[in-house]
Chain A
Amino acid sequence: MSMDDDNGGATQILAGLLQARTGQVISPGRYWRVETSLKSVLAEYCIPDIDTLVAALLGAENDELVQSCVEAMLNNESYFFRDTAMFTMIRTQVMPALQKGRADSRRLRIWCAGCSTGQEAYSLAMQFADDRQKWAGWDIEIVGTDISESVLERARSGRYSQFEIQRGLSVTRMLRYFQQDGEDWEISPDIRAKVKFRADNITRPSGDMGQFDLILCRNVLLYFAPETRHMAFSRLARSLANDGYLMLGAAETVIGQTTSFNACREIRGVYTLRDAATRTNRPVLDANWPFAQEA
């Protein structure tokens, strides 16, 4: 839908609501997505069209309706082992480096920021379970956060549809880590117990969860306006251990976005705190990894 359409004003207001509540920006070229994503809300509240919906939102305080609209407009697409090259890199490069660096404490904390329905966090948990002997005796904490309570509820349930289960997940892992329950597939209690989910807005300074050794914030920041993105980077910088690693989505970068992070010299797509190497003994990554950048 373009701004020239009859309800372009309503669409703009709804997109503004999403940005104000979450930081996510919907560009005018994608305003058509607003009406599509709100169809379920219109049906649930018996509201005939989005003009009437906006009138209802503006007419009286209705937090439940506002929250329903915001959650419906959020882009929650996620699937298991999304970007297989990245998961391979985590397994073969980042984790060995962190394992070396944390050999004394044998403790790792990982944050999946903007975890949506949990596939990324559970993918990491499955990857650790695949390598259970290597990580025996380690205390590994995986925390998934999202702004949307409804997606967190789904993440905590560990239940996925047939369509969701096979997106990115190998049949071997599906058989190993899931049980079929009617039309759905439910993740095994062992894997579910390894991940904790909690509500959090990455653009807000509140919600201190301590420091993490690895933060995955993938395909989240690209939906933010520059000033919101800057706030998110500040939060990520505060939450990352001095010798920890930040990973963004394939289409995202820190370059020109923040002064808090440097692109890791050894691996493309991995970021470290600026000047952190002088403060701690950062584990050295293997420069033989195929993604290693040329000097």
Chain B
Amino acid sequence: MKTCLVVDDSKVIRKVARHILETLDFNVEEAADGREALDRCSSQLPDVVLLDWNMPVMSGIDFLTALRRSENGEKPKVVFCTTENGLGHIQAAIDAGADEYVMKPFDRETLQSKLQIVGAA
């Protein structure tokens, strides 16, 4: 079973994502900000990270930059999942090493299709 780390400061979004991901047979871990997510990744790398952009303590883009610089940090597939829907943000995410990008709001089919695209579902 693959593991997905859901990084979002919204408890509701984490709950919704967890529900969808569990129906897709993922083992789900949660983090409320980028720093907490990095700590989790340092103990065990997930297969996929579902990543919000705007979070307290450490943003999604800062987390992604730090993750990709860390040892084996290129391994997890990172899918941004954010309300930031402008071209500039999307390009910045890709440049920082994101594999896919989901614009909120999203549904099960959207998330599943993105996970299939990155080869995680």
Contacts and interface: CB of A to CB of B under 8 A. Distances in A.
Interface of A: 79, 81, 84, 162-163, 166-168, 170-172, 174-175, 180
B91 interface: yes
B90 interface: yes
Instruction: State the 5 A-B residue pairs at the shortest beta-carbon distance, nearest first.
Output: A171-B101, A168-B113, A170-B117, A180-B87, A162-B103
A84 B112 CA distance: 12
Contacts of B101: 166, 171, 174
A182 B111 CA distance: 23
Contacts of A81: 113
Interface in B64-121: 85-87, 90-91, 94, 98, 100-103, 105-107, 109-110, 113-114, 116-117
B103 A166 contact: yes
B100 A170 contact: yes
Given A175-B90, A175-B91, A180-B87, A163 B100 contact: no
Nearest to A82: B113
Interface of B: 85-87, 90-91, 94, 98, 100-103, 105-107, 109-110, 113-114, 116-117
A175 B116 contact: no
Contacts, number: 38
Count chain A CB atoms within 10 A of each CB in B86, B102, B114 and give the residue with the most. B114
Given A162-B85, A170-B100, A79 B113 contact: yes
A175 B103 CA distance: 14
Given A79-B109, A171-B100, A171-B101, A84 B91 contact: no
23 contacts: A84-B116, A162-B85, A162-B103, A163-B105, A163-B107, A163-B110, A166-B102, A166-B103, A166-B106, A166-B113, A167-B109, A167-B110, A167-B113, A168-B113, A170-B100, A171-B90, A171-B94, A171-B98, A171-B101, A172-B94, A175-B87, A175-B90, A180-B86
Contacts of A166: 101-103, 106, 110, 113-114
A175 B100 CA distance: 11
Contacts of B114: 166
Nearest to A178: B87
B56 to A, nearest CB: 26
Given A166-B113, A167-B110, 12 more contacts: A79-B113, A162-B85, A163-B105, A163-B110, A166-B101, A167-B109, A167-B113, A170-B100, A171-B98, A171-B101, A175-B87, A175-B90
Nearest to B87: A180
A79 B103 CA distance: 16
Nearest to A77: B109
Contacts of A79: 109, 113
Contacts of B91: 175
A180 B89 CA distance: 12
A175 B109 contact: no
B95 to A, nearest CB: 11
Nearest to A85: B116
A85 to B, nearest CB: 9
Contacts of A180: 86-87
Nearest to B114: A166
A261 B116 CA distance: 32
Contact of B94 (A84, A167, A168, A175): A175
Contacts of B98: 171
Nearest to B93: A171
